A = this chain, B = another copy of it.
Amino acid sequence: MSEIAIVLVEPLHEGNVGFAARVMKNFGFSDLVLVDPCPWGDLARACAMHASDVLESALTLTLEEVYSEYQLIIAATGAISKSVCRSIRMPYYTPKEIREQIRNVNGRVAILFGRENRGLSNDEIRRCDVICTIPASQSYPILNISHAVGIVCYELADIPRGTYRLAEREEMECLYEHLDTFLDRIDHPGFKRANTLLMARRILGRTRLTTREVSTIHGILRRAEWHMREEKESR
């Protein structure tokens, strides 16, 4: 994957710088660039928590340096209001779409986040290659900058979901068969049988059982059957 730098343009609050560093590291990003930042120190470090490495290794660059040193420059902007000059801000892409766009880029990508109070200027946006906007509620579309960084990093991260073993189709069919014989064993009325099995299939189908869960359900059914058989044989 291409190297992706998160660039904070003139951040005003050091807490946000720290929070941005933290959430970057949460999603595996470490290249933080600060353009003319507010002074920062203990509060930024406190907010960064265990991401102080990201914070301490942040580069301080000028905007000119950013524009010249990165090959693809993405402007992250707040939700677009209709009044904003369309020629500047259109078209724009969601973080999901940006993910697709940079998938095949081999080079240095910079994503610019603007000031807390007034974002990026139209001039700054004009010099970017792509506009990224997080879809947000019309009633309050402006995210805190570190939350915007978090959502962009979340979408661009390549973190595999941890796995556990889901039951195979065959294991599920075997479970449905077991349920069928169990219903038989408890004299479940035949005219209801098809509906009940269908319901079981719906319930267990949508729950996506793990292999371990399937085996536990078999175990409970077997144990109940054993009790029925045992007591029948002892008559």
How many Å from the CB of A214 to the closest CB on chain B?
A: 10
Q: Which of A33-41, A63-71, A118-126, A136-144 contacts B (4 or more CB under 8 A)?
A: A136-144
* Chain B positions within 8 Å of A161 at CB level: 94, 135
Q: Is A160's beta carbon under 8 Å from chain B?
A: yes
A 199-214 contacts with B by CB, 8 A: 199, 202-204, 206-210, 213
For the complex, give the distance between the alpha carbons of A6 and B187 in Å.
Answer: 46
Indicate how many identical chains form the complex. Answer: 2
Interface size on A, residues (CB 8 A): 69
Q: Mark A177-193, 1 if CB is under 8 A from B, else 0.
A: 00000110111100000
A161 to B50, CA, bound (A): 34
CB-defined interface of A127-164 with B at 8 Å, one 1/0 digit per residue? 00000011111011111101100110010010111101
- In the assembled complex, 25 residue pairs joining A and B whose CB atoms fall closer than 8 Å, in A order, are A23-B143, A25-B139, A26-B137, A26-B141, A26-B143, A26-B147, A28-B139, A51-B140, A91-B208, A135-B157, A135-B159, A135-B162, A136-B157, A143-B150, A147-B147, A147-B150, A183-B220, A185-B227, A186-B223, A186-B226, A187-B223, A199-B213, A206-B208, A228-B231, A235-B235
Q: Across the A-B interface, give the 3 residue pairs with the lowest CB-CB distance, nearest first.
A: A207-B207, A231-B231, A28-B137
- A binding-site residues for B, Cβ under 8 Å: 19, 22-23, 25-28, 47, 49-51, 79-80, 86, 90-92, 94, 133-137, 139-144, 146-147, 150-151, 154, 157, 159-162, 164, 182-183, 185-188, 196, 199, 202-204, 206-210, 213, 216-217, 220, 223-224, 226-228, 231-232, 234-235
